[in-house]
Amino acid sequence: MKSLLIATTNPAKFEEASFVLRSSGLNILGLKDFSTVPVEETGATFEENAILKAKGYFEQTKTACIADDGGLMIDYLAGAPGVHSKRWLGYEASDQELAQAVIEKMRGVPKEQRTAKLGGFVIFYDGSHLLKSECWLHGYIAGILMGEIKVGFPYRSLLMIPEFNKPYSDLSEEEHDQVNFRRKNLETLKPKILEALASTQLT
């Protein structure tokens, strides 16, 4: 059985990715299964950071690896929080602090200028193949916190999804499946990953 490392320290992201990939017949592993050092995210874009993580953790574990990077980009704030989503405030802020900072910075901004997108890249790397997928969910920023903050996903309670007229955090399971950008990226990559792994000597 081929192994695949989901290279994230975020338990919620690991669960999302595992859910999509567990039917693939792969041995799904997490960083807890290895002794690794964190890969520094020095890229200027989400794509660069995802590639750095996928390659960095592959080099440490010699195990085929997927890594993702993404976040919220608000048009009025010139794409912020962007690639600095977790460290946007100049330090490793809590989910509550991050959400509150967006509310403060967007206070008084008219609805038509509150457009934003949430999404990013998933990268697969196995030493021979580098595969990528990109997906974005478009909406607008609410003026107040519209739902309960899910641990690890500070901005979902702020991004209103027009087709459902509710924040991302309040979507039903069925609605969430329709718009989940990470899931869409993984579903796109899954057959390509299986094909790539079939042609490698990795276990």
C-alpha 58/C-alpha 66 separation (Å) is 9
Side-chain-side CA neighbours of 68 within 13 Å: the count stands at 25
C-alpha 147/C-alpha 156 separation (Å) is 8
Residue among 135, 98, 125, 133 nearest 202 (CA): 125
In the residue annotation, 69 being an active-site residue is answered as yes
The two tokens of residue 105 are: 């910075």
CA max distance for the chain: 57
Phi and psi of 171, rounded to 5°?
-65, 145
C-alpha 52/C-alpha 69 separation (Å) is 10
The two tokens of residue 87 are: 């460290």
Cα-based angle 43, 47, 53 (whole degrees, multiple of 5): 65
The two tokens of residue 171 are: 């979507």
Residue of 33, 68, 69, 170 marked catalytic = 69
Would you please indicate which residues are annotated as catalytic (active-site) residues?
69
